[in-house]
Structure 1
Amino acid sequence: MRALRVLVVEDEGMIALAIEDILTQMGHRVCGTAGTESDAVAASHRLNPDLIIIDGRLRIGSGILAMQKILSHGFVPHIYISGDSLVGVTLDKGAVALQKPFSELQLDDAIGRALAARTLPSTSGGDPKSGEKNGNS
Structure 2
Amino acid sequence: MHKDNEKLRFLIVEDEALIAMLIEDILTDLGYEVAAVASRLRDACEHARSAEFDFAILDVNLDGKPSYPVAEILDERGVPFAFATGYGALGLDGKFSKIPTLAKPFVGDDVEKLISAMTSPARRQ
Classify the TM-score, shorter chain: 0.7 to 0.9
Alignment partner of 1:48 is 2:44: no
Of 101, 107, 110, which residue of structure 1 is paired with 2:105? Answer: 101
Distance 1:82 1:93 in 2: 13
**Which 4+ residue blocks in structure 1 deviate beyond 6 angstroms?**
none
- Tell me the TM-score normalised to structure 1 length: 0.76
Percent identity for Structure 1 against Structure 2: 29
Unmatched 5+ stretches in structure 2: none
- Tell me the TM-score normalised to structure 2 length: 0.83
SS at match of 2:10: strand
Unmatched 5+ stretches in structure 1: 120-137
Q: Which AA in structure 1 matches 2:63?
A: R
**Range with greater deviation from structure 2 (14-23 or 85-94):** 85-94
Contact 2:48 2:70 in 1 (8 A): no
Q: Report which of the two has the higher share of helix.
A: 2
Change (3 A) 1:58 1:69: same
How many residue pairs match? The answer is: 118
Residues 32-83 of structure 1: CA deviation (Å, up to 9, x unaligned): 10012221121122212101011011115321232113322x2111110012
Alignment partner of 1:113 is 2:117: yes
Alignment partner of 1:71 is 2:75: yes
